[in-house]
A = this chain, B = another copy of it.
Amino acid sequence: MLKEKILNKESGIITYGLTPPKKKTSHEKIKEIAQTQINRIKDLDLDALILYDLQDESDRVDQERPFPFLPTIDPVVYSKEYLSALNIPRIIYRCVGKYSKEEFSNWLQTETNKDRFSVFVGASSKDKAVKLKLKEGYRLRKELNPDLILGGVTIPERHSAKDNEHQKIFKKIDYGCRFFVSQCVYNLSYAKNLLSDYYYHCQEHNQDMVPIIFTFTPCGSKKTLKFMKWLGINIPQWLENDLKHSEDILERSVQVAKENFAELFRFAQEKKIPIGCNIESVSIRKVEIKAAIQLAKAIKKIISSN
């Protein structure tokens, strides 16, 4: 179904994003974490599970990272060894620069008989030393496994700064991307601006629009808020004020995420732009994860009632 939804450029794809546990975690503990995640996710009726591949982004900004960076288990390993009970497609993130050409090529050529989905991620900054460049990753996929359904990352905040994120999308479409996943959205205007330029460019060039999956996340504490800002997520001043002064920041953030998705979905439906939604929790606190699950359910309702 996911394959068809992507290739038919359908609206309403819904995914849940997970970061694998830290590498230093014991096998027993990982099994326990995975079981909890399976229980939470299994009945959500998702189109896919997104599994992130973390890279240390401390080179991207000068400010100290509010939560320390610790390497995480490979998303493929985590998916196969711990989440096999979850019978939904996986979208595997790949920070291309972390891998040697050989590693990356080998991974591309595994399980070629199955439907596979991946999002390739470039370096977090221009100066970062990489083993493999994103373009080289695209080339290898085309050469070694053109059936792998490829997605790209898109960041509305970058569009706000440079007005060219939609052009980056088209470039990535040329490299083979068939869907996009955004960074977390808290600034609705930024997301609308990107979608609008994307839409009018497609109209003008008589080009089909591929699905853009926007990520939404709850924010359950001032520390999470600080971390989101560190990640580069723009939060409008009024909303940051409201969240900071809220008696229940978590509930307020979930309400805002629902409202923002509903408005973005309405905006996109009006123009027949295929958008979807990815829900994640940037925090590992249980209450924030539970709120993310609630958010996923609420967004599923918004999608199906349209």
- Which residues of A are interface residues toward B (Cβ below 8 A)? 163, 187, 189, 192-193, 195-197, 199-200, 203, 236-238, 241-242, 245, 267
Closest to A195 in B: B238
Q: How far, in whole Å, are A48 and B51 apart by their CA atoms in the complex?
A: 59
- Which residues of chain B are within 8 angstroms of A242 by Cβ–Cβ distance? 196
In the complex, how many angstroms separate the beta carbon of A202 from the nearest chain B beta carbon? 12
Interface of A is mostly: helix
Number of copies: 2
Q: How far, in whole Å, are A195 and B239 apart by their CA atoms in the complex?
A: 11
- Which residues of chain B are within 8 angstroms of A197 by Cβ–Cβ distance? 237-238, 241
In the complex, how many angstroms separate the beta carbon of A83 from the nearest chain B beta carbon? 38
In the complex, how many angstroms separate the beta carbon of A267 from the nearest chain B beta carbon? 8
- CB–CB B236/A200 < 8 A: no
Extra contacts besides A192-B236, A192-B238, A196-B242 (15): CB < 8 Å:
A163-B237, A187-B189, A189-B238, A193-B236, A193-B237, A193-B238, A195-B238, A196-B237, A196-B241, A197-B238, A197-B241, A199-B241, A200-B245, A203-B245, A238-B267
In the complex, how many angstroms separate the beta carbon of A80 from the nearest chain B beta carbon? 42
Closest to A201 in B: B241
Identify 23 residue pairs between A and B in the complex whose beta-carbon atoms are under 8 Å apart, listed by A's number: A163-B237, A187-B189, A189-B189, A189-B236, A189-B238, A192-B236, A192-B238, A193-B236, A193-B237, A193-B238, A195-B238, A196-B237, A196-B238, A196-B241, A196-B242, A197-B237, A197-B238, A197-B241, A199-B241, A200-B241, A200-B245, A203-B245, A238-B267
Closest to A238 in B: B196
Q: How far, in whole Å, are A193 and B235 apart by their CA atoms in the complex?
A: 11
- Which residues of chain B are within 8 angstroms of A187 by Cβ–Cβ distance? 189
Q: How far, in whole Å, are A197 and B245 apart by their CA atoms in the complex?
A: 12
Q: How far, in whole Å, are A237 and B165 apart by their CA atoms in the complex?
A: 13
Closest to A241 in B: B196
In the complex, how many angstroms separate the beta carbon of A243 from the nearest chain B beta carbon? 11
Q: How far, in whole Å, are A203 and B241 apart by their CA atoms in the complex?
A: 12
